[in-house]
């Protein structure tokens, strides 16, 4: 296949992303991880599944970056989860250093690639990758809004007992407790959900969406979500590889849009072969805008923490 995507980090999110990319036959895949044998073993396992899944994508696992040369997209899932007794500053500093190193190595091998950031804390990690790569802002994108919107869509579907394919939703802002689900822009077969359920029920779904990642962590107890995050990441990759010009909520570097400057924030963007080809500015009510500015302030706080730790 003529297109190549490198996935850095062969944990649950990275390996499942590699699987989905290959099984959709979107590209060849290079899976990179520092753990010796792990990316090689997972890649070989995926290769052995190919005859059954009926795809001819080439999948390679490695501990170095040479095989990633000339990638169209670099997907970064590398990083550590927060452990008991670890402060937020410790987590940010460790993941900042990991992000800085892997981005620099990957960018060196693939100077024309588009980078998709999946690692947490996501909005802050986008800033690290942006600085470490030296890439233009349209080629550094954070994955969060699609995942958060998919969770909102799933909850709407469950509540109304309708097909998920009929549901559409938008979630803006940072990836965390301050995210901004927009019920006014969320529909079922074109019908606003505000016409289909009570304000109280909508607020309950909005709250569940905000806490969606934490709900899964509390159920799993020893890990975090990876099926939905990998699906969201692959939707972005497919839009780029196929130049689909798809409108999707992603973390983008804003320079004045929505009154926000110099921050990666989740907003609707047009994704195509050049990465972010347009930032879509939708009209917000005063309360929606206030919630988005509050979310931006939370991201700004993380970015300021990064600067102190650098």
Lowest-confidence pick of 23-27, 52-56, 62-66, 299-303: 299-303
Which residues have a Cβ under 8 Å from the Cβ of 303 and sit 6 or more positions away? 123, 124, 127, 263
Of the chain, the percentage scoring pLDDT greater than 90 comes to: 88
Tell me: do 208 and 157 sit in the same domain.
Answer: yes
Q: What is the pLDDT of residue 236?
A: 98
Tell me: do 48 and 69 sit in the same domain.
Answer: yes
Tell me: do 220 and 133 sit in the same domain.
Answer: no
**Cβ–Cβ under 8 Å, residues 248 and 271:** yes
| Tokens matching residue 287 | 């309360």
User: Residue 167 above 60 pLDDT?
Assistant: yes
User: How many domains, in total, are found in the chain?
Assistant: 2
Q: Specify the CATH number for the domain of residue 31.
A: 3.40.50.720
Residue identified by tokens 């779904």 is: 205
Q: What is the pLDDT of residue 71?
A: 98
Domain boundary among 92, 113, 142: 142
Q: What is the pLDDT of residue 82?
A: 67
Q: What is the pLDDT of residue 253?
A: 98
Tell me: do 129 and 166 sit in the same domain.
Answer: no
Q: What is the pLDDT of residue 4?
A: 98
Q: What is the pLDDT of residue 99?
A: 97
User: Residue 141 above 70 pLDDT?
Assistant: yes
Tell me: do 73 and 192 sit in the same domain.
Answer: no
Mean predicted confidence (pLDDT) in 277-303? 95
User: What's the chain's average pLDDT?
Assistant: 95
Tell me: do 153 and 282 sit in the same domain.
Answer: yes
Tell me: do 158 and 66 sit in the same domain.
Answer: no
Tell me: do 60 and 195 sit in the same domain.
Answer: no
Tell me: do 263 and 294 sit in the same domain.
Answer: yes
User: Residue 1 above 60 pLDDT?
Assistant: no
Tell me: do 151 and 297 sit in the same domain.
Answer: yes
Domain boundary among 96, 123, 142: 142
User: Residue 212 above 70 pLDDT?
Assistant: yes
Domain that holds residue 138: 4-142
Q: What is the pLDDT of residue 170?
A: 87
pLDDT in tens, 115-136: 999 998 899 999 999 999 999 9
Q: What is the pLDDT of residue 2?
A: 79
**Cβ–Cβ under 8 Å, residues 164 and 187:** no
Mean predicted confidence (pLDDT) in 156-185? 94
Q: What is the pLDDT of residue 171?
A: 94
Indicate the pTM of the whole model.
Answer: 0.96
> Using 50, 70 and 90 to split pLDDT, how confident is the model at 84?
low
Q: What is the pLDDT of residue 52?
A: 98
User: Residue 188 above 80 pLDDT?
Assistant: yes
Q: What is the pLDDT of residue 294?
A: 96
**Cβ–Cβ under 8 Å, residues 295 and 181:** no
Active site residues: 175
Lowest-confidence pick of 46-55, 255-264, 267-276, 297-306: 297-306
Buried b (16+ CB within 10 A) or exposed e, 29-57: bbbbbeeeebbbebbeebeeebeeeebeb
> Using 50, 70 and 90 to split pLDDT, how confident is the model at 83?
low
Tell me: do 230 and 290 sit in the same domain.
Answer: yes
Q: Specify the CATH number for the domain of residue 209.
A: 3.90.110.10
Domain boundary among 125, 142, 159: 142
Tell me: do 126 and 260 sit in the same domain.
Answer: no
């Amino acid at each position: 296949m003529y297109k190549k995507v490198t996935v850095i980090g062969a944990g649950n999110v990275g390996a499942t992303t590699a699987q989905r990319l290959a099984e959709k036959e979107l590209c060849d895949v290079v899976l990179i991880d520092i753990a010796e044998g792990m990316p090689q073993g997972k890649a070989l396992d995926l290769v052995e599944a190919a005859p059954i899944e009926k795809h001819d994508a080439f999948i390679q696992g490695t501990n170095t970056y040479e095989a990633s040369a000339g990638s169209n997209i670099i997907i970064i899932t590398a990083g550590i989860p927060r452990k008991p007794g670890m402060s937020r500053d410790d987590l940010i500093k460790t993941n900042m250093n990991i992000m800085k190193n892997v981005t620099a190595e990957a960018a060196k091998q693939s100077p024309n690639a588009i980078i998709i950031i999946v690692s947490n804390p996501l909005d802050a990690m986008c800033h690290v990758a942006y600085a470490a790569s030296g890439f233009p802002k349209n080629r550094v994108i954070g994955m969060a809004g699609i995942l958060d919107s998919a969770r909102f869509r799933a909850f709407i579907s469950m509540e109304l007992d309708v097909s998920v394919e009929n549901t559409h939703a938008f979630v803006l802002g940072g990836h965390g407790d301050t995210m901004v689900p927009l019920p006014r822009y969320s529909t079922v077969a074109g019908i606003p959900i505000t016409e289909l359920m009570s304000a109280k029920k909508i607020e309950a779904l909005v709250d569940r969406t905000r806490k969606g990642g934490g709900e899964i962590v509390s159920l799993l107890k020893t890990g975090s979500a990876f099926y939905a995050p990998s699906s969201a990441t692959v939707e972005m990759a497919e839009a780029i590889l196929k130049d689909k010009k798809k409108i999707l909520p992603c973390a983008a570097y804003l320079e004045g849009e929505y009154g926000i400057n110099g921050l990666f924030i989740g907003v609707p963007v047009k994704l195509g072969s050049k990465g972010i080809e347009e930032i879509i500015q939708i009209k917000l009510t005063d309360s929606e805008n206030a919630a988005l500015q509050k979310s931006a302030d939370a991201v700004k706080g993380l970015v300021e923490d990064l600067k102190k730790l650098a």
